[in-house]
Structure 1
Amino acid sequence: MSPPPAPTRPEQSSRGVLVRYATAATLARIADGSAATALILLALERTDSAAIGGLLAAATTLPHLVAALLSRSSRA
């Protein structure tokens, strides 16, 4: 029986993987928050209605709230 082929890439340290993951997660979180803020400001500028801005803010946070509630209820 022949030995398994040698890996083509050297093994990465777990710290390097964690740093890349944390960097990507941080950038994604910043982009998500910035997009929501930009949409709300755009709605306020176009409509001059705080009610529309408030509804849009609620609509952008609703998926996060629903996901948290569903996650919590599935563990109970």
Structure 2
Amino acid sequence: MIELVRTNDAVIISFVEALMRDANIACMVADQNMSVMDGSLGILPRRILVEAKQVETARKILTDAGIASEIFAK
């Protein structure tokens, strides 16, 4: 799986999940339970992962939705 977004913004995470669900693109939110480790402060970012074969489509969806700035780039 390829990292698509890395953020600690719960609204962005929910929005991206909804966009991926609507496009029938499977995604996974990694590090979601790490909030237990940081005391539920939301300091540690969560990562949204998609399959490698769908990453370009997913990036286009985020760009079309106006949140291209959230796309994780290595």
TM-score under structure 2 length normalisation: 0.29
Q: Of Structure 1 and Structure 2, which has the larger fraction of its residues in strand?
A: 2
Q: Which has the higher contact order (CA 8 A, sep 6+)?
A: 2
Select the structure of larger CA radius of gyration.
1
TM-score under structure 1 length normalisation: 0.28
